[in-house]
Amino acid sequence: MPTPRTVAIDGPAGAGKSTIGALVAERLGYLFLDTGAMYRAVALAAQQRGIDPDDGPRLTQLAGEIKVAIGPPTVRDGRAYTVLLGGADVTWAIRTPEIDRIVSQVARVPYVRDVMVEQQRAIASRGRIVMVGRDIGTVVLPEAERKVFLTASAAERARRREEELAARGDKRSRQELLAEILRRDELDSKRPVSPLRAADDAIVVETDGLTVREALERVLQVIERRPIPS
């Protein structure tokens, strides 16, 4: 079976898209692009400039002005990639609770999405890419050769997020994280532009109870079109 040129992995917040997507790309020798990090960078830029996350016109102007670049890890500190905003490393700065709270609001602004999607499609046109996000298979790359919708229960996603933050020395209660995840699910699935949903031809992969290695193997089975054990 020929290896696909483009792989789209979508799913809700905390489903493990970045972790699994980066591992898939590494295994295949492909470029990895986490589109969520691009929206987080816009949210960070808005925060730095004091722009309200509901101020569509100013966010529209901002999206056209800033330069966001995502590339391979430049530091061995657990990151799956490095995010640059105007040349500055903001890989961890875009993962703060403050950005968690506003990124879905920023991402639902139509022109912000237009600018980001244009950049994402330009990168994908080169082929050999694993792209993760919330609307890759439905909007950004509807013709992607493989589409995966990676998901897990909200409780499981909150547990994983708690462990991820604790590993970086950031203590947050699981209840707080669960509330944030449920709020983001609501915003992402009901926004009028590019709502979160599985593409009609995507394979849904549930990861509750799976280790990272097991989830990776399940996704690779989908990509390589191998039989998935029941």
| Contact by Cβ (8 Å): 46, 38 | no
Q: Tell me if the pTM is above 0.75.
A: yes
Q: What token pair was written down for 97? A: 């609770």
Please name the helix (run of DSSP H) or strand (run of DSSP E) that holds residue 130, with its range, or none: strand 129-133
Cβ-based neighbours of 153, under 8 Å, separated by 6 or more = 208
79-84 LR contacts (CB < 8 Å, sep 24+) = 80/18, 80/19, 80/21, 80/22, 80/32, 80/34, 81/22, 81/32, 81/34, 81/37, 83/37, 83/40, 83/41
Give the domain ranges of the chain: 6-223
Fold of 6-223: Rossmann fold (3.40.50)
CA neighbours closer than 13 Å in the CB half-sphere of residue 2? 5
| Contact by Cβ (8 Å): 60, 49 | no
- Distance between alpha carbon 165 and the CA centroid of its chain, in Å? 17
- Bridging pattern class, strands 68-71 and 82-85: antiparallel
Per-residue model confidence (pLDDT) at position 227: 61
Nearest to 16 by CA among 170, 187, 181: 181
Per-residue model confidence (pLDDT) at position 20: 95
pLDDT tens over the chain, length 230 residues: 567 999 999 999 889 998 999 999 999 999 899 999 999 999 999 999 999 999 999 999 999 999 998 888 899 888 878 999 999 999 999 999 899 999 989 998 999 999 999 989 998 998 899 999 999 999 999 999 999 999 999 999 999 999 988 888 888 999 999 999 999 899 889 988 889 999 999 999 999 999 999 999 999 999 988 765 55
